[in-house]
């Protein structure tokens, strides 16, 4: 038997041993085969497979790369190396390898599925980076390759909504629901798109599916309140502090039914809520750390319960149902008076230009402190920072034009922050809970919005917050939006003289 034949025989033996899960014997046999046939691509590929099975990821990758160097169109190592790279997050190279695998063997469903999975991950990452058009294109390819996987359609729908294509996003969620009826992630996301279009009854119905998500806290062992009978009602807090502030706009409606309300809230909100809703019992709840479950619910003597985010379904079935009142929260009047004295006689303007949490897609929705230069250039105004987690570099960039609320913890002392905001003449902010707080307090506020999200409910305003005027900002248009705000401040001061 010649060397080539013996190499082939050892190759077949090694593959068989690998299939029998005799990994060590398989590796030894395939190495003997390679000693006789070092340029046999299929032996390097098989060695990579058993090295992977034996836990030697680096050795497996080296073997697959050697196989592909000898024969670039081998679907097996292309697929295996691609999926291994994808597992450790090297998605771009994984995509290139898997595209070559599909081109080599277009009829193998596993190859198409693996490529679709990588494309879906890339598309989701692009969407988080704010690269909406690219995300949509990549996710559409994922759907075309793996159209029977509901999460691909959901991810595409989310990207379409982020790109402003609301109707198309609903079509994507509908396709996901054909594949998996009442999938909670698809229904909840479809609800967000419906709400963003102003289709409130349908939107609120789908929005309820958020409570079926794995991350949702368990429901109390109580019947759900339907809004009809005046009963002792527990209102459970949910989501972020900005959402809590919006949903609080429905608390007066709840109390007007005659219900005795036990209202949970983020502990930071409790002083503000107690002052604003004296007829309710306010129950402060410490928010769990990231990844931790919500604390156990204490229903007290409640006879029924409702999630705070479900109140709008009962009380805000249409835009006409949003009250025109300017404010529904009340800051501490003595603290407001102290802040007004400290701020002095100049017109005071609070500024918030980004979220306290950045990264990925969120970055594209916010300004930089440098973008506010047209405002800082104005004389005769006191600009006050409402920016949480203010970086030292931002403080230096703004210079003396930006006043700081010395001694006030903007993040944790929400009641103190409410007093400061109430002492201001106006607020200019992006999408953060500062927006919800300022609007709920009735302070004249300009909202610089990067996109139409569900909370605008298909309108050009934030219906929950009549004191807020919305200005939509095109990508890269933050400095221009600041310049427009500066011109309006000057004009308003001129008219007031």
Least confident of 32-41, 201-210, 301-310, 428-437: 32-41
Give the pTM: 0.84
Looking at the fold, whether 488 and 396 belong to one and the same domain comes out as: yes
Residue 411, pLDDT > 70, answer yes
Q: Show which of 259, 289, 317 is a domain's final residue.
A: 317
Is 236 inside a domain boundary?
yes
Is 97 inside a domain boundary?
no
Q: Show which of 258, 285, 317 is a domain's final residue.
A: 317
With helix as H, strand as E and coil as C, how does 378-406 read?
CCCCEEEECCCCCCHHHHHHHHHHEECCC
| DSSP, res 430 | -
Residue 244, pLDDT > 90, answer yes
- Contact predicate 482/374, CB 8 Å: yes
Which CATH number does the domain housing residue 299 bear? 3.40.50
Looking at the fold, whether 490 and 371 belong to one and the same domain comes out as: yes
The whole-number average pLDDT for the span 432-443 is: 96
Is 150 inside a domain boundary?
no
Is 167 inside a domain boundary?
no
pLDDT confidence of 142, banded at 50, 70, 90?
A: confident
Looking at the fold, whether 341 and 298 belong to one and the same domain comes out as: no
| Rounded (5°) CA angle 221-289-162 | 90
Q: How many domains does the chain have?
A: 2
Domain hosting 276: range is: 232-317
Residue 131, pLDDT > 90, answer no
Residue 349, pLDDT > 70, answer yes
Residue 161, pLDDT > 70, answer yes
The rounded percent of the chain whose pLDDT value lies above 90 is 55
Residue 414, pLDDT > 90, answer yes
Q: CA-CA distance, 13 to 19, in Å (whole number)?
A: 10
Is 323 inside a domain boundary?
no
Looking at the fold, whether 379 and 441 belong to one and the same domain comes out as: yes
pLDDT at 248: 97
pLDDT at 169: 96
Output 229-232 pairs: Cβ under 8 A, ≥24 positions apart.
Answer: 229/304, 230/257, 230/258, 230/259, 230/260, 231/259, 231/260, 231/303, 231/304, 232/259, 232/260, 232/262, 232/301, 232/302, 232/303, 232/304
Is 218 inside a domain boundary?
no
pLDDT at 138: 85
Q: Show which of 264, 293, 317 is a domain's final residue.
A: 317
pLDDT confidence of 476, banded at 50, 70, 90?
A: confident
Looking at the fold, whether 396 and 464 belong to one and the same domain comes out as: yes
In terms of average pLDDT, the best of 9-18, 45-54, 442-451 is 442-451
Summarised one tens digit per residue, pLDDT across range 168-200 is 999 999 999 999 998 999 999 999 999 999 999
Residue 108, pLDDT > 70, answer yes
pLDDT at 132: 74
Burial class (CB in 10 A: 0-12, 13-18, 19+), 363: middle
The whole-number average pLDDT for the span 310-334 is: 96
Residue 361, pLDDT > 70, answer no
From the list 438, 430, 433, the residue with the least C-alpha distance to 470 is 430
Looking at the fold, whether 370 and 438 belong to one and the same domain comes out as: yes
Least confident of 115-124, 167-176, 314-323: 115-124
Is 324 inside a domain boundary?
no
Q: CA-CA distance, 409 to 110, in Å (whole number)?
A: 54
Residue with more model confidence, 317 or 8: 317
Which CATH number does the domain housing residue 486 bear? 3.40.50.2000
């Amino acid at each position: 038997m010649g060397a080539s034949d013996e190499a082939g025989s050892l190759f077949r033996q090694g593959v068989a041993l690998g299939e029998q899960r005799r990994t060590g014997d398989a590796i030894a046999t395939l190495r003997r085969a390679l000693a006789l046939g070092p340029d046999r691509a299929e032996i390097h590929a098989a060695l990579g497979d058993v090295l992977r099975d034996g836990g030697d990821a680096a050795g497996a990758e080296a073997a697959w790369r050697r196989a592909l160097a000898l024969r670039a169109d081998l679907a097996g190592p292309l697929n295996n190396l691609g999926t291994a790279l994808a597992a450790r997050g090297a998605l771009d190279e994984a995509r290139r390898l898997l595209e070559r695998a599909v081109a080599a063997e277009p009829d193998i469903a596993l190859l198409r599925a693996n490529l679709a999975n990588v494309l879906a991950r890339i598309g989701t990452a692009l969407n988080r980076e704010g690269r909406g058009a690219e995300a949509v294109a990549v996710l559409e390819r994922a759907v075309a390759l793996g159209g029977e996987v509901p999460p691909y359609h959901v991810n595409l729908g989310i990207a379409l909504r982020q790109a402003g294509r609301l109707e198309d996003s609903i079509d994507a969620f509908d396709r996901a629901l054909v594949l998996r009826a009442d999938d909670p992630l698809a229904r909840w996301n479809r609800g967000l798109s419906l709400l963003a279009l102003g289709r409130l009854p349908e939107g609120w119905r789908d929005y309820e599916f958020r409570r079926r998500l794995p991350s949702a806290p368990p429901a109390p062992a109580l019947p759900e309140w339907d809004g009809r009978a005046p009963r002792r009602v527990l209102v459970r807090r949910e989501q972020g502090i900005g959402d809590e502030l919006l949903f609080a706009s429905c608390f007066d409606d709840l109390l007007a039914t005659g219900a005795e309300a036990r209202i949970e809230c983020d502990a930071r909100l409790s002083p503000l809520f107690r002052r604003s809703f004296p007829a309710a019992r306010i129950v402060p709840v410490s928010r769990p750390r990231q990844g931790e479950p919500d604390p156990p619910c204490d229903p007290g003597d409640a006879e029924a319960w409702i999630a705070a985010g479900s109140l709008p379904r009962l009380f805000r079935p249409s835009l006409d149902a949003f009250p025109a009142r300017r404010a529904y929260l009340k800051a501490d009047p003595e603290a407001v008076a102290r802040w007004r004295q400290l701020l002095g006689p100049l017109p005071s303007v609070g500024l918030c230009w980004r979220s306290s949490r950045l990264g990925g897609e969120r970055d594209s929705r916010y300004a930089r402190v440098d973008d506010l230069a047209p405002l800082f250039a104005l004389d005769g105004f006191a600009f006050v920072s409402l920016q949480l987690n203010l970086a030292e570099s931002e403080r230096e960039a703004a210079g003396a034009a930006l006043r700081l609320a010395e001694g006030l913890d903007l993040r944790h002392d929400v009641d103190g922050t409410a007093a400061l905001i109430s002492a201001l003449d106006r607020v200019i902010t992006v999408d953060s809970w500062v927006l919800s707080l300022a609007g709920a307090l009735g302070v004249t506020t300009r909202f610089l919005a990067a996109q139409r999200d569900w909370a605008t409910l298909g309108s050009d305003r934030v219906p929950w917050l009549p004191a807020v005027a919305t200005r939509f900002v095109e990508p890269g248009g933050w400095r221009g939006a600041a310049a427009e705000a500066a011109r309006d401040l000057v004009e308003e001061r001129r008219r007031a003289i």
